[in-house]
């Protein structure tokens, strides 16, 4: 018992050749699925990494119920006071003796008089006031204190506990 192939309607034995020629033609379709997968992975990576790119000194900010300040066109100057007492302009550590001199030079170059002061919650109030005095002497009159939101409010009713 042998298997026998039937000739195609086009003539004797040519069907096999046509079929193999059809399979060896280049594919002109693009498979988009791998590209979409890669783009989604990159999107997730950037969404996770973007909050980590904020510049500054790591500071444990106190929490308050104050409303945030409106945004400006120019990037605001940020002064940070760390838990160990170090003072930074942006991410550059500055000695307290040089702070007023540096602030005056920066104030002369900037259009906006606004500056943000970030101080660790464990820093004594006196140290924060010394830095605020230096900011005032350096030409910055619009000082915003940076805090974390969601803190306690004084007008909230107390529980029955």
- CATH value at residue 108: 3.30.420.270
Helices (runs of H) and strands (runs of E) counted in the chain: 4, 5
Residue 102 lies in a domain: yes
Q: Which has the higher per-residue pLDDT, 99 or 64? A: 99
> 148 has which bridge partners?
63
Tell me: the pLDDT tens digits for 150-161? 777 777 565 544
Segment 95-139, tens digit of pLDDT: 888 888 888 888 888 877 788 888 888 888 888 888 888 888 888
β-partners of residue 93 are 88
Question: For residue 28, is it within any domain?
Answer: no
User: Cβ contacts of residue 139 below 8 Å, gap of 6+?
Assistant: 103, 104, 107, 108, 113
d(CA 150, CA 65): 6
**Is residue 99 situated within a structural domain?**
yes
Number of domains in the chain: 1
Q: Is residue 124 part of a domain?
A: yes
Winning range, highest mean pLDDT, from 8-12, 21-25, 98-102, 152-156 = 98-102
On whether residue 117 sits in a domain, the answer given is yes
Least trusted range by pLDDT, from 12-16, 65-69, 139-143: 12-16
């Amino acid at each position: 018992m042998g298997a026998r192939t039937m000739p195609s309607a086009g003539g004797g034995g040519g069907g096999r050749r046509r079929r193999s020629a059809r399979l060896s033609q280049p594919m002109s379709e693009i498979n988009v699925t791998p590209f979409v997968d890669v783009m989604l992975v990159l999107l997730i990576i950037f969404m996770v990494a973007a909050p980590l790119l904020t510049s500054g000194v790591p500071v444990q900010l106190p929490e308050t119920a104050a409303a945030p300040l409106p945004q400006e066109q120019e990037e605001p100057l940020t002064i940070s006071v760390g838990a160990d007492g170090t003072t930074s302009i942006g991410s550059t550590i500055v000695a307290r003796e040089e702070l007023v001199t540096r602030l005056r030079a920066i104030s002369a170059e900037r259009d906006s008089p606004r500056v943000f002061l970030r101080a660790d919650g464990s820093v004594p109030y006196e140290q924060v006031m010394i830095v605020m005095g230096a900011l005032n002497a350096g030409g910055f009159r619009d000082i915003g204190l940076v805090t974390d939101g969601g803190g306690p409010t004084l007008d909230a009713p107390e529980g029955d506990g």
